[in-house]
C-alpha cells in the first residue's frame, strides 16, 4: 500500500544516514515526492552556523556549513512536529590558544599561532513548531547529536597568512553523544502555497559538557544557525494526489 511504501522509504532514509551524507541527500532528492503527504512536509534543510564553545579563553565563533533533511509533521491546526537529520552538522570554535604538542620543534613553530577546533556531528532536532499569520513560525525543543570526528588544526604564519598548519585528531577527547535545547523563528517565502521554501534563524545551547574528564568549567557547545529549507517533490506529490 501507499502508506507502507512511505514507511519503508522513511526507514531506509534514516538508516542510511549512518553511512553517507552525500548519498542521503541524493535519496532525499529522488524520493521527496513519496515522503510528502497532506500531513507531512519533507525537504532539504541547510545553511551556515556560527559555532562556539563555552568557557574557552580567546575563543571566537567558527562559521560552518550544515546540510540535512527535515520533516514537518502536522499535529493539530498550526502546530507541527519539526524533526529530521542534519547529516553535516559541526560544532567548534576558532582562535583558541595553542597548547603543547609534546614536540619542542612543533611547539616553537606554533607558539605565536592559534587553533581552530571542529567537532563533526550527525544532529537530530525534535521541536514543536507553531505557525501564525499564515507565514511566520516559532519553534523550540531538544536536539541530540552523535559525534563522528574531531580535529584541532594548528595555524601559524611564516610568509603568507596561515601557511603553516598541523592537524591533530581529538575525537577521543569528546563524548559520543551531545544533547541540548534549540529554539528559533522563521518565515515562509510564499504564504499562498501551503508548502514553500522558508528562511529562519535558530540557536542551540548544549546542556551537557561534551569534554571527557573535564575538571574545569563546562565547555558546552553553542551555535547560531541561519538556515534555508525547501520542500522536495511537493508539486509532483500534489499532482499525483
Q: Alpha carbon of 37 to those of 2, 34, 79, 132: distances in Å? A: 11, 8, 16, 21
What cell numbers appear for 216 in the block? 574545569
Neighbour tally for 196: CB within 10 Å: 17
| Distance from the first to the final alpha carbon of the chain | 15
Q: Could you list the pLDDT tens digit for every one of the 241 residues in the chain?
A: 555 555 555 545 444 544 444 444 554 555 556 677 888 999 999 999 999 999 998 889 999 999 999 999 999 999 999 999 999 889 999 999 999 999 999 999 999 999 999 999 999 999 999 999 989 999 999 999 999 999 999 999 999 999 999 999 999 999 999 999 999 999 999 888 778 899 999 999 999 999 999 999 999 999 999 999 999 876 554 545 4
Q: Residue 220 and residue 207: Cα distance in Å, rounded?
A: 7
Per-residue DSSP letter, 98: P
Q: Is 202 helix (H, G, I), strand (E, B) or coil?
A: strand
Q: Residue 228 and residue 198: Cα distance in Å, rounded?
A: 6
Q: Residue 151 and residue 241: Cα distance in Å, rounded?
A: 48
Q: Residue 68 and residue 62: Cα distance in Å, rounded?
A: 19
Q: Residue 3 and residue 37: Cα distance in Å, rounded?
A: 10
What cell numbers appear for 210 in the block? 561534551
Q: Alpha carbon of 92 to those of 63, 64, 83, 117: distances in Å? A: 9, 9, 23, 5
pLDDT value for 82: 97
Which of 173, 118, 115, 176 has its CA nearest to residue 144? 176
Amino acid at each position: 500500500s501507499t502508506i507502507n511504501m512511505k514507511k519503508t522509504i522513511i526507514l531506509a532514509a534514516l538508516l542510511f544516514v549512518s553511512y553517507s551524507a552525500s548519498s542521503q541527500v541524493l535519496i532525499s532528492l529522488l524520493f521527496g515526492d513519496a515522503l510528502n503527504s497532506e500531513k507531512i512536509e519533507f525537504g532539504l534543510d541547510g545553511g551556515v552556523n556560527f559555532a562556539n564553545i563555552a568557557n574557552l579563553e580567546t575563543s571566537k565563533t567558527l562559521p560552518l556549513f550544515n546540510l540535512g533533511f527535515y520533516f514537518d509533521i502536522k499535529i493539530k491546526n498550526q502546530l507541527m512536529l519539526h524533526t529530521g537529520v542534519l547529516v553535516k552538522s559541526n560544532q567548534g570554535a576558532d582562535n583558541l590558544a595553542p597548547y603543547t604538542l609534546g614536540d619542542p620543534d612543533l611547539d616553537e613553530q606554533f607558539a605565536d599561532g592559534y587553533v581552530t577546533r571542529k567537532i563533526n556531528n550527525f544532529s537530530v532536532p525534535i521541536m514543536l513548531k507553531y505557525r501564525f499569520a499564515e507565514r511566520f513560525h516559532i519553534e523550540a525543543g531538544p536536539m541530540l547529536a552523535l559525534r563522528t570526528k574531531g580535529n584541532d588544526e594548528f595555524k601559524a604564519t611564516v610568509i603568507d597568512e596561515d601557511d603553516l598548519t598541523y592537524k591533530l585528531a581529538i575525537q577521543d577527547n569528546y563524548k559520543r553523544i551531545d544533547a541540548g535545547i534549540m529554539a528559533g523563528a522563521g518565515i515562509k517565502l510564499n504564504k499562498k502555497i501551503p508548502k514553500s521554501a522558508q528562511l529562519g534563524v535558530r540557536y542551540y545551547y548544549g546542556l551537557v559538557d561534551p569534554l571527557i574528564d573535564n575538571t574545569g568549567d563546562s565547555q558546552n557547545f553553542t551555535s547560531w544557525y541561519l538556515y534555508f529549507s525547501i520542500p522536495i517533490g511537493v508539486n509532483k506529490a500534489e499532482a499525483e494526489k
